[in-house]
Amino acid sequence: MGVHETIDHENRERAKFREMKQGTAEDWAIIGGEYRAFAKGLPDRVLDHLKLLDGDFGGFPVDRLEHSLQTATRAHRDGRDEQYVLMALLHDIGDTLGSYNHPEVAASIIKPFVSEQVHWICQNHGAFQGYYYFHFLGMDQNARDKFMGHPHYEACREFCEKYDQSAFDPDYDSEPLEFFEPMVRRVMEKPLASMYAKAIAEE
């Protein structure tokens, strides 16, 4: 069960200010405490949101959840580390709210928890994935070429070639979402970097 489901919001203590500039140390002790609990629920919220892709085919041979599980399963079975597999699992999670820029949504969600390279792959996979279909839609198949010479070009090309463009097989035995849950919780347990790092530090 998600942390957000266990919090009794009605009866929790609340800050007293009407405008932030009236805020006091007591107010912010309350909010800081709530934030720490809320932040811990992030893996649950992400997993819940990923489930929105269930049954969403968009004309593809598999739905977006199966595509996500298959991308992650292929990366995992190929020996990728947990940060990478998390990225593979979540790379299309932005489809629902970022229908015109989905790679950036996923990249923002994983950014505090992964290496710069894994973040870059996620953020730019759209252009690299386009190599396999942009020309069918009147777009430039080689849109990825604008990144030529970038230190992460090859890693992103490889992600799309090995795990993303290949993850539309209805007959592939993908692991279920439950298989990845402990991994999601481990990788998202603590940010490697965040502008709010001090606020979530345990006293």
The residue range among 22-30, 33-41, 108-116, 156-164 that interacts with Fe ion, by the rule CB under 5 A, is 156-164
Which residue number, 4 or 49, has a Cβ lying nearer to Fe ion? 49
| Nearer to Fe ion (CB atom), residue 14 or residue 146 | 146
Where does this chain touch Fe ion (CB under 5 A) — which range of 12-20, 53-61, 88-96, 137-145? 88-96
Contact 71, 61 (CB under 8 A): no
Nearer CB in complex with Fe ion: 72/183: 72
Quote the tokens at residue 25: 């140390």
- What separation in angstroms does the CA of 203 have from each of 29, 95, 188, 199? 12, 38, 20, 10
Nearest approach in angstroms of CB 102 to Fe ion is 6
Helix orientation angle between 82-90 and 102-110, rounded to the nearest 10 degrees: 150
Among 56-64, 115-123, 141-149, 164-172, the segment contacting Fe ion (CB under 5 A): 164-172
Decide: is 164 part of the binding site for Fe ion (CB under 5 A): yes
- Looking at beta carbons only, is 44 or 164 nearer to Fe ion? 164
Quick one: which segment of 113-121, 137-145, 146-154, 161-169 binds Fe ion (CB under 5 A)? 161-169
Nearer to Fe ion, 71 or 83 (CB): 71
| Residue 66 is a binding residue for Fe ion (CB under 5 A) | no
* Residue 133 token pair: 């279909």
Minimum Å gap between C-beta 163 and Fe ion is 9
Query: If binding means CB under 5 A, how many residues of this protein chain bind Fe ion?
Result: 2
Draw the binding track, 5-44, toward Fe ion (x: CB under 5 A; -: no contact): ----------------------------------------
Does 92 help bind Fe ion (rule: CB under 5 A)?
A: yes
Binding stretches for Fe ion (CB under 5 A): 92, 164
